[in-house]
Amino acid sequence: MLQSGMPTHDKNETFLSQFGKSGETTEFFSPVPDNYQHGKTKFVVVLGTVMSGLGKGIFSSSLAKLLQDKGLSVTPVKLEGYLNIDSGTLNPFRHGEVFVLDDGTETDMDLGTYERILDQNLSRANFTTAGQIYTEILTRERAGGYLGRDVQMIPHVTGEVKRRLRQLAIEGGQNGKQADVVFVEVGGTVGDYENGFYIEALRELAYEEGPESTCFVALTYIVEPAILGEQKSKPAQLGIKRLMETGIQPHIIACRAELPITDTVAQKISMFSNVTPQRVFSMHDRDSIYTIPDAMRSEKIDREILSILKLHDRVDAVAEDKARVGWRNYIDALTGKRNHTISIGILGKYTSIRDAYASIDKAIEHASTHLSADVQIKWIDVTDLKKDTAGSKLEAANLDAVIVPGGFGERGIEGKLAAVKWAREHGIPFLGICLGFQMAVVEFAQTVVGLEDANSTEFDVNCKHPVIAELPDQKEIEGLGGTMRLGGQDVALTEGSFAEQLFNAAHVRERFRHRYEVEPKYIEKLTKAGLIFSGHHPEHQIMQVLELPSSMHPYFVAGQFHPELTSRPLNPQPMFMGLVAAAIAHRTGEKTPDGVDARWLCSNISTSTV
């Protein structure tokens, strides 16, 4: 007989065993994956109130890092309420960049934050949308998986959410063991209709797992109207009230604000939410997200989490000390005085929305920190650049380096080609990414090889010289997105090439998201004119890295992949390290040895202690 109230730990196994896997004999439908070890994994749930865009992903990943530093195995998951299966078709103007995981999953940009801060490669198990949940349930229903039951939001939809979280606990651990802590971030805010079933599922999960199994964190916002000149907590109070109305009592309140919250605000929040004052934290604005973990540690928020979840006995103090030293060195370099000042232009067509290039921004930050450079990023909309006037506009920007990033569609192509030509002809350090790689090929073919009608079939299917085209084996795949090369792919680097020097490796793995390639029949013409394809598919004639020799350009490098997606604070991406180093050399006029040795660039210019 099931007892009323919250089950205790010693009764949980019996409690869970009565949840039928098909639900034919009980109203408790909460399937538990095979090999799930009850009590091993704890859950930290981060929910937002008042407004979206508060930085739940940054907060959650920073908190996860603190527990990871203590030797605990952690894994995050983002629960999105939209009906898309993934983020692949979302417009960057509406939703920021699409972050591609190694397994090819196209996700929300928050997954990039998790990967960078935790230094982990995540998978599709770390990203869930309402579209995925509903598709799974309806597919199962059509196959008779519910044995005649009427399929409902509760218990079947909520049951699928709980099943996925428990499955992630199994898959997200280290060395084949179940994770110690799963960090669950719910997109949007409490009160959004599309998130209601997630919140209910998490309430149920906490009930089923038992006391000390789940820590609920409410991230809220403290407003400070300029006309009043003081912080006001009423919107935060009402948002927390909305959360409590769902049956969830938060354990911790994190207050986002421009400035540190006052004692008065903290006391009001504490009294209103039933959360003790020592568990109400100020999460005010900071210069860099990478300073947040140390700020949270100093506030002892990690200790509170350990106490709530009874995890103190799993802490590895030696591992924590070692992790703190490495991160502290990076933060010291990040916040300390820089030895160089440079400007880098990002020439794209989504520059009005910085989130569209979030990973590029962070990759520059990683490299510039290691090379002690203060980088001024100049965002230049390529749709404003015309063939005849682009040079004068770019010259006036006083750039030390140029990045031409990826994108889709014909808009802005004229500006990108003009930017590539200007950088190549004026010796400005250049990094092309995905479409930027393709534009470098097209521009070289037009200007240097003399194929004036060279283009990509993405923009002109009838062009005379399609140097960039969709290859035959890709054309056989039907459907929007079906021809995309997505996720991690191996890249073989040519021995003795500049790219091999940059990576200091013969083979690397990078992440791709593209549909068009260099047309093989033009490779010989391009290489005879001086373009070097120094990275390619290990087995097929697919070009993946290009460069110009030092006799033609000091730093002209491009990748068909997205190098920004694999950059980490303590392990900056080599192509960005090379670009920043080359920009420093350009600004200072420092000469490099013959051959422009990449390791010389990055080591001799740097005085950082990271």
For the annotated catalytic residues, the residue numbers are 434, 562, 564
Work out the angle at residue 569's Cα, subtended by the Cα atoms of residues 564 and 572, and round it to the nearest 5 degrees. Answer: 50
CA–CA separation, 261 and 280 (whole Å): 10
Alpha helices, DSSP H only, in 88-210? Answer: 92-95, 110-118, 130-142, 158-171, 196-209
Residue linked to tokens 């986002």: 256
The token pair that represents 587 in the structure block: 């600004």
Measuring CA to CA, which residue among 351, 344, 329 is closest to residue 375? 344
Please name which of 127, 112, 578, 581 lies closest in space to residue 359, comparing C-alpha atoms: 112
Q: Are 607 and 372 in contact (CB under 8 A)?
A: yes
Helix (H, G, I), strand (E, B) or coil at 429: coil
Given a contact cutoff of 8 angstroms between Cβ atoms, the answer to whether 174 and 121 are in contact is: no
How far is the C-alpha of 445 from the C-alpha of 465, rounded, in Å?
Answer: 9
Q: What is the DSSP letter of 262?
A: P
DSSP code at position 154 = I
Cis peptide bond N-terminal to 593, omega within 30: no
Q: Could you tell me the two tokens for 581?
A: 């180093």
For strand 127-129 and strand 74-80, is the pairing parallel, antiparallel, or unpaired? parallel
C-alpha 31/C-alpha 152 separation (Å) is 15
Sign of the Cα pseudo-torsion (575, 579, 585, 588, in order): negative
Q: Integer distance in angstroms from the first to the last C-alpha of the chain?
A: 60
Q: What is the pairing mode between strands 532-536 and 543-547?
A: antiparallel
d(CA 432, CA 454): 18
* Burial state string for 257-267 with b = 16 or more CB within 10 A and e = fewer than 16: beeebbeebbe
Beta strands in 208-261 (DSSP E): 214-221, 252-257
DSSP 3: P
Are 100 and 513 contacting, i.e. CB atoms less than 8 angstroms apart? yes
Other beta carbons less than 10 A from residue 63's beta carbon: 28
Nearest to 109 by CA among 359, 369, 324, 288: 359
Question: What is the C-alpha to C-alpha distance for residues 57 and 176, in angstroms, rounded to an integer?
Answer: 26
Instruction: For residue 406, give the 3-state DSSP assignment.
Output: coil
- Cα separations (Å) of 594 from 212, 531, 585? 63, 18, 14
CB distance 351 to 380 below 8 Å: yes
Instruction: Report CA torsion sign: 256, 259, 265, 267.
Output: positive
